[in-house]
Amino acid sequence: MSTTTRTADQASDLISIDLAHGVRALNARLHEATGGEAFTVVNPAGQHNIAVGIDTEIDVTVEGHVGYYCAGMHQRGTVTVHGNAGTGLAENIMSGTVHVTGDASQSAAATGHGGLVVIDGNTGARCGISMKGVDIVVGGDIGHMSAFMAQAGTLVVCGDAGEALGDSIYEARIYVKGTVASLGADCIEKPMKREHLEQLRELLERAGRSDDPADFTRYGSARTLYHFQAENSSSY
């Protein structure tokens, strides 16, 4: 199933795992890791649930496309996918880093509590839905209903955003470089202050991007839906 190689420049073993032998065995091996190991996963073939529940400081590189819920419940370490990802990438991520070099389907980083999720390409609908502290950087476009009920964290979009962006948003921050098809209930454009430019610059750098923060527009909550009011009943 796996082979171990070492080079003079590597402080830890590089372990190669062929997913032709199944995802369950891969995840079991990753959960047995004690920290410091580097894994390369080959032949993923779009299988689901790859590299889920990692809670150790390890480095996992997947060479190819992955299916649903890759890196779900991620807590520590780094997962890098050299390809595209299906629905629910890094769902409920707690900390650590997940990076996809291609596109991601809908619900990327849904309910994420922390950590950093980087998607170099585009994402589908509901990116960052109900996010609770995760930072998300998307190099391309995002689909409709992204950041729906986003409570905390940051969504950075270097392309365009679909309809109903930030619908029913709480205190999360959204930065969009391109155009927004429409804003959701209680989401409004907000001024870009020095603190926001600094935060955005730091996130872009962490994501390996060179975009100018001054080219982005900030969106957030108008805070009109925090308490029920009869005149806002059509927006609930």
Domain architecture of the chain: domains with CATH: 40-224 (2.160.20.60)
Q: How confident is the model at residue 235, as a pLDDT?
A: 59
DSSP 83: S
Q: How confident is the model at residue 11, as a pLDDT?
A: 41
The rounded percent of the chain whose pLDDT value lies above 90 is 87
Residue 227's pLDDT band, with cuts at 50, 70 and 90, is low
* Stretch 59-78: mean pLDDT: 98
- In whole angstroms, how large is the CA radius of gyration of the chain? 19
Residue 132 φ then ψ, to 5°: -125, 25
> For 18-38, what is each residue's pLDDT tens digit?
998 789 999 999 999 999 999
The rounded percent of the chain whose pLDDT value lies above 70 is 90
Q: How confident is the model at residue 161, as a pLDDT?
A: 98
Q: Are 148 and 184 in contact (CB under 8 A)?
A: yes
For the entire predicted model, the pTM comes to 0.91
* More reliable by pLDDT, 2 or 164: 164
Q: How confident is the model at residue 14, as a pLDDT?
A: 86
Which tokens hold the place of 195? 């603190």
Residue 224's pLDDT band, with cuts at 50, 70 and 90, is confident
pLDDT of residue 12 exceeding 70: no
Q: How confident is the model at residue 228, as a pLDDT?
A: 63
As a whole number, the mean pLDDT across the chain is: 92
Q: How confident is the model at residue 225, as a pLDDT?
A: 76
Strands (E), 64-215: 78-81, 97-100, 116-119, 132-138, 152-157, 173-176, 187-190
* Stretch 46-50: mean pLDDT: 97
Angle at the Cα of 218 (from 215 to 220), degrees rounded to 5?
Answer: 170
pLDDT of residue 231 exceeding 80: no
* Stretch 93-108: mean pLDDT: 98
The CB density around residue 208, as the number of other CB atoms within 10 Å, is 11
Instruction: Please tell me the total number of residues recorded for the chain in this structure.
Output: 236
Which tokens hold the place of 230? 């009869």
Residue 152's pLDDT band, with cuts at 50, 70 and 90, is very high
Q: Which of 129, 209, 127 is nearest to 160 (CA)?
A: 127
Residue 197 φ then ψ, to 5°: -60, -40
User: H-helix or E-strand containing 196?
Assistant: helix 194-206
Q: Report CA-CA distances (Å) from 131 to 138, 146, 170, 190.
A: 15, 10, 10, 19
